[in-house]
Chains A and B, each alone.
Chain A
Amino acid sequence: MKVYIINTGSCNGCDIELIAAALDKITDDPKEADILVITGGVNRKMRKKLLNICEQFEGKIVAVGSCAISGGVFKDSYSTNQGIDDIVPVDFYIPGCPPSPKIISSFLEGRDCENIENFRGIPKIDKFKCTGCGACSLGCPSSAIKIKDVDYIRQIIINYGDCIYCGECEYNCHDNAINLSNKPCNASLEKDNLINITQIKLSPCRLCGSYFIPTRQLDQLFEKIDDEEIRYYLGICHKCRSNIDRIKRAKEILSE
């Protein structure tokens, strides 16, 4: 099996890991290669060159690294593309920033990679510790963690294709609920397989009944606060709270 690498504007990280993983399989000629590996978010200058090579190529196309999969940390840049599947059809995705050589070599051998010691792998949320506060989402440099409320459930959506495995979420979490495990993210056929969803229960508003705050976060706040009035207001959603304030102020104006 021969591999041809094309660097479409990566930071070299993925390329040197590919050299470490498959030095003997790398070829200089795209015609004799079975696998075309693309690293880096494609910028305007490289776009034409990439299309030229991909037109002649008949084997499998693999996107390596989060830049190639989704734009990664450079997602909002004016220069790079948000993932290469807008330009060429991709067969496999290998997430990582950069993926460890063990992940790449086990992909080339057609098996899954086991846990790697001391490695910053995929972020895992402890369901029983997480309060759903959203600190991980706010601090994430590549916006890989998103928070979405559906009915009475808060979804914490982690996209391993966007993730740059920097550990900032672990550093920001106050409850020690999110940790970068030793488990690496293996190659995937579909982009959708790289998404992980954690669900957390929400509490309803005391007045209108719409769900707005995670139950565990509310309990944690109640533990710290004894004042009954503040406790009452904590259980009310933002819309209702602003309405109450308005009534209070109206009463004050009337009484004057």
Chain B
Amino acid sequence: MTSVLAASDIALFYDGWSPAFLHLCDDTFQSGLPLPPDGPETAARSAVWMAGQAGIAPGHRVLDLGCGIGGPARAIAAAFKTVQIEGVTISPVQARLGTRLTAEAGFSDRVRIHLTDFHHLPFRDAWFDRAVLFEVTGYSDDLPRLYAETARVLQHGGAVYIKDVFRRPGPMSPEQAEDLNDFNRMWHVADTHSMLETVDALSHAGFVDIESGAFERVGTDRFVGSMFTVSERGLEPNLLGRHFLRSYRDLPVEFGWARGRRA
């Protein structure tokens, strides 16, 4: 289970950095954007494409676990006219900022952002049709609890969709372990879980028809570009770049997806 200290560390991290990410990047705090084979790389296109992969349909109640400031939720709400989305974040700053941006975008009636730990959801049993987790499961140090709670709030036949950075399978070299440790510390994640751990936790939580895989296309240009600013002096790493750019020797991670249906 996530410790109080770890949860507060994560909240403080995102309380501090969310305004900078919004200002220098955009309202979607994901490093990689899964996309259809063709077309431009935008966060909104990625969110809508993943919503399709998750089986989100008009009229669905959708839970966005670790919703950040609600960029993907608003994009999905814009694309699926009658979808209702409840997002949860552990960061008070994200909750306030996301609620304000949602109101300004005119989605307050269909997108709500709640301040809560995603291991303890304030929703009744079997309420949602779909749950999505976009690059957030590393913030759980208790995957079985996270997915059990997700299963609890999903209807029978409802489904979960996960897109994340996963630890590559197999043993790690000392350099890889050091890189991963640095990566986890920098992003304040509890752990970068493997796909095997994820599928296992989903299965134990009662999900069936579990599938997983890699993406054909993941755009990272937007995220990388947001770490540089063009000025009169040329191209320079900005605040994000100075803090988050790293040169790893062999970081053992990869983007992937998993989904499962609640029995």
- Asked if chains A and B come from one complex, the reply is no
